[in-house]
Amino acid sequence: MTLDGRGENASTTYGLYSNDRHEGLGEVKVPHSLGLLYEAVTAHLGFLHSSDEYKVMALAAMGDRNRYRDLLANQVRWFGEGRYEVAPMDLSALFGPARSRGAPLEQRHFDLAAALQAVLESTVLDIARWLRSVTGQPCLAMAGGVALNCVMNARLRDSGLFEQVWVQPAAGDAGTALGAAMWIDARLRTHPRGPIPAQAHRPDDTPFALAERRWVMTHAYLGPAFGDDEIEALLSWAKLPYMRLHDVAASTARLLAQGKVIGWFQGRMEFGPRALGARSILASPLQESMQARINELKDREDFRPVAPAVPEERLAEWFTPAEANGGKAPFMLFIYGVPPEQAARIPAACHLDRTARVQTVSADSNPAFHALLEKFGELTGVPVLINTSFNVRGEPIVCTPKDALDAFYSTPLDALVIGSFLLEKPGDPAPAPATAQ
């Protein structure tokens, strides 16, 4: 299932992949689009459409879902068989004047965000029920910009409709590059000696078989990497003071336990919009004030939550439902509940509704980040770290060592761990060490 704002013609598409064949099952054409609806309300709430929808998702946790829900739901009509329509609407007439960008947020804004999220979830659940009934398939794969809505994804996961729900981590427009590469690979391997058919279907409209799948996307570390020699050459050329670390995980964990905020630049860069422990800003979740400190550092709105990372094998100790999706959430695309006794130990990593957008970290996929989480757990009793993208507002996630240095020295980050090297800033003494109760 692909849920997007707009494509070439369609906003929503459905398909079945079985026995190395993909069969299209239907589509919803623009202008009817759940993504465009979310964009319109995002703009009405004073945020940048096609960019700030995740902020509206965060606002929804502070609102009353019922105040505007029926009013908005009446504009979205579900016809069954995978078909829905979104009626043209005057948002100002329905919900009051639009908020100016930067103006104070009022309760009606929170309530509209909550209603929007509720209508999105209920509509997508209707679609998912139909899709399960017509395919009988136990697993759902999703893409499209709307599939980056981790609250909606969790509702789908917890609905019991599917045994597993998998979301492609670069689910927005960037994911088309991955899809194109996989499509060409499959077609080339299907027709290694002859011309590749221009169409995906035979004249009788049955799909061509594709080559057998040989790759499973278990991680998103597909970008460039930089070795220690290259990093050290840049540090020396820039005449920067640095230290080579003999145990990167242990040294970094000690800094984090002291309350320092760290830029973390290790290995191959992530593909997609989420920092997953390769180009990350990391911090301790033990003090509630850390959430505001991270938002100030990144020039983000105060209401924005920050996300926790945890070793995959320790998910069940900290978050629920731990058994869902095979106990894995490597792409930070689902929310989880935080039991009250654990929420008290990681207050900076919990949203107002005591949920968290969790990343599970595998020792196989990212051994450096996994080792750091374990070392921090040994020091504090809490193997959980705040993980947010290594960038500042309006800038992309850092890619190269030079990008990392520019971001480090233009923000109040305390330290940068880049490859095997540590850079620290002179200044105030380190905060008192953080300990878990």
pLDDT tens readout for residues 250-284 = 999 999 999 999 999 999 999 999 999 999 999 99
In a domain, 181, yes or no: no
Residue 187 has a pLDDT of 82
Same domain, 168 and 308: no
291-336 tens-digit pLDDT: 999 999 999 888 899 999 999 999 999 999 999 999 999 999 999 9
Same domain, 143 and 272: no
In a domain, 432, yes or no: no
Containing structural domain, residue 142: 2-173
CA 345-309-435 angle, 5° bins: 30
In a domain, 90, yes or no: yes
Query: What distance in Å separates the CA atoms of residue 72 and residue 91, rounded to the nearest whole number?
Result: 9
Q: Is the pLDDT of residue 194 over 50?
A: yes
Task: Tell how strand 307-311 and strand 359-361 pair up.
Answer: parallel
Task: Tell how strand 421-424 and strand 415-418 pair up.
Answer: antiparallel
Q: Tokens 């597993």 appear where?
A: 164
Query: What distance in Å separates the CA atoms of residue 53 and residue 146, rounded to the nearest whole number?
Result: 9
Residue 434 has a pLDDT of 47
What mean pLDDT comes out for the span 114-127? Answer: 98
In a domain, 430, yes or no: no
Per DSSP (E only), the strands in 313-365 are 335-337, 355-357, 359-361
Of 173, 205, 237, the one marking the end of a domain is 173
In a domain, 420, yes or no: yes
- Report pTM: 0.92
In a domain, 191, yes or no: no
In a domain, 200, yes or no: no
Other Cβ atoms within 10 Å of 214 Cβ, number: 8
Average pLDDT for the chain: 93
In a domain, 185, yes or no: no
Query: What distance in Å separates the CA atoms of residue 204 and residue 210, rounded to the nearest whole number?
Result: 17
What mean pLDDT comes out for the span 339-347? Answer: 97
Query: What distance in Å separates the CA atoms of residue 24 and residue 108, rounded to the nearest whole number?
Result: 41
Q: Is the pLDDT of residue 199 over 80?
A: no
Residue 433 has a pLDDT of 44
Same domain, 152 and 22: yes
Q: Is the pLDDT of residue 431 over 50?
A: no
Query: What distance in Å separates the CA atoms of residue 35 and residue 263, rounded to the nearest whole number?
Result: 33
7-38 tens-digit pLDDT: 889 999 999 998 888 889 999 999 999 999 99
Same domain, 31 and 120: yes
CATH number for the domain harbouring residue 345: 3.90.870.20
Of 150, 173, 196, the one marking the end of a domain is 173
CATH number for the domain harbouring residue 67: 3.30.420.40
Reported as a pLDDT band with limits 50, 70 and 90, residue 186 is confident
Q: How far apart are the first and last CA of the chain?
A: 44
Same domain, 86 and 234: no
Reported as a pLDDT band with limits 50, 70 and 90, residue 416 is very high
CB 157 within 8 A of CB 165: yes
Please report the DSSP string for 204-255 in residue order.
Answer: TSPBPPPPPP-------B-S----HHHHHHHHHHTT---EE-SSHHHHHHHH
Number of domains in the chain: 2
Same domain, 397 and 276: yes
61-112 tens-digit pLDDT: 999 999 999 999 999 999 999 999 999 999 999 999 999 999 999 999 999 9
Of 149, 173, 197, the one marking the end of a domain is 173
